[in-house]
Structure 1
Amino acid sequence: MTHFRSDTFRPIGQILATEVMPALFRARRLPLRISCLGIASDDGNDKADRFDRTIPLGECQSPEEAMRFACLRLSQSNICTGPDSFPHFRPRIMVIEDCEHRLVLAGEIRAGVILWQQPVASDPEARRIVSEASRLRGMAFRSPDPDEAREYRYRAATLEARLVDPFWRETTTELLRLPQAA
């Protein structure tokens, strides 16, 4: 008797390896934490009183949900609210990290829109970004002008937004291909 293998049924080991184990591993890295980097000040007039601040926004259970949450908070100007908030906060970069503080996704904020950054495609590309970001941070360190130094640091942080953890790269790349992510 000859048995024919059907394409509709897969061995349990294959299902475990391709679907169940990755889902369990991803669940260990949840929840995802969303935060916003920006420039805060107590009054919007004096440049000397400005300082960099990271504002934690919340947690979500998936990258898709985290992106929607971040976009919603930004669109509602609901970034720096609450009793410990700053009257003047200019959001610059939105960051999504897993519970192990590994970068899942990040994007630069321009004109009230988050420009999510594509993750690096390879390790050599990641090394180039790290080198360029280090160069910019060095320029910030040497700059006598605090505003110029801040701009160098934000340019470096925008580059580093592409340094998505290798575990999340494929998920993030696929997510950014979807039309609603644009």
Structure 2
Amino acid sequence: MTIARFETFRPIGEILAADVLPALYRAQKLPLRISCLGLASADGGDNADSFERMIPLGECPSPEEAMQFAALRLSRGDICSGSDSFPHFCPRIMLIQDREYGLVLAGEIRAGIILWQQPVTSNAEARRIVTEASRLRGMAFAASGRANRELARDLRLRASLCEARLVDPFWRETASDLLRLPQAA
């Protein structure tokens, strides 16, 4: 005699492995931290006195909410507000990281919007990006030694934009799915 298996019932082991354990693991990585990397200066110029600065913006319970929070803060122009703010701050890259500082999503800021970067799809692609970013940082180091700070700063920005695709393997699928969804205007 054979027992018919119904599709509505799943073994408890399958439920634990497919639903419960991934949800618990994800919960350990929350909340997500939102930060902005940019140039800070005292006089607002893009001169030798400006320096790169990471500004923490807040925390959110999900990647979707973190993306909305980042876009809202950028649109309001309150990236660098508070007691330790800089008179002039030019945001360049928005970052979303998990509790362990694993990259969830990152995007370049252009014309007041965030251009979220597609995450890498494989470890081989990640290695190529690390190699390219290292090459750019090496060129930036050489340029700073020749007292060409603007070129060095631009090369470091290009390296950071390459690294923006180095999403933590745990978050790659989630980030790809988020970027496939149509964004509300």
Per the normalisation by structure 1, the TM-score is 0.96
Unaligned runs of 5+ in 2: none
Distance 1:160 1:45, change over 3 A: closer
1:2 shift after superposition? 3.9
Q: Which residue of 2 aligns with 1:21?
A: 21
Which whole-Å deviations, capped at 9, do the CAs of 1:79-111 have from their partners, x for residues lacking one? 001111111100000001111111111000011
Q: Which residue of 1 aligns with 2:104?
A: 104
1:121 shift after superposition? 0.6
Which portions of structure 1, spanning 4 or more consecutive aligned residues, are displaced by more than 6 angstroms? none
Q: Which residue of 2 aligns with 1:158?
A: 161
Give yes or no for contact 1:175–1:181 (8 Å, CA) kept in 2.
no
Partner-residue secondary structure (3-state), 1:148: helix
1:11-50 equivalences under 5 Å are 11-45=11-45, 47-50=47-50
Q: Distance in 1 between matches of 2:184 and 2:167?
A: 17
The answer on 1:77 being equivalent to 2:80 is no
1:48 shift after superposition? 2.0
1:67 shift after superposition? 0.5
1:181 shift after superposition? 7.3
1:46 shift after superposition? 6.6
10-19 or 69-78, which deviates more: 10-19
Q: Which residue of 2 aligns with 1:138?
A: 138
Q: Distance in 2 between matches of 1:64 and 1:86?
A: 29
The percent of aligned pairs where both chains have the same amino acid is 71
Q: Which residue of 2 aligns with 1:172?
A: 175
Give the alignment's Cα RMSD to 1 decimal. 1.3
Distance 1:102 1:118, change over 3 A: same
User: Amino acid of the residue matched to residue 55 of structure 1?
Assistant: I
Which whole-Å deviations, capped at 9, do the CAs of 1:152-180 have from their partners, x for residues lacking one? 00100000000001111111111111112
Partner-residue secondary structure (3-state), 1:37: strand
22-31 or 9-18, which deviates more: 9-18
1:3 shift after superposition? 2.2
1:106-121 equivalences under 5 Å are 106-121=106-121
Partner-residue secondary structure (3-state), 1:100: coil
Q: Distance in 2 between matches of 1:181 and 1:147?
A: 36
Partner-residue secondary structure (3-state), 1:85: coil
User: Amino acid of the residue matched to residue 169 of structure 1?
Assistant: R
Partner-residue secondary structure (3-state), 2:170: helix
Per the normalisation by structure 2, the TM-score is 0.95
1:11 shift after superposition? 1.2
150-159 or 1-10, which deviates more: 1-10
Distance 1:45 1:173, change over 3 A: closer
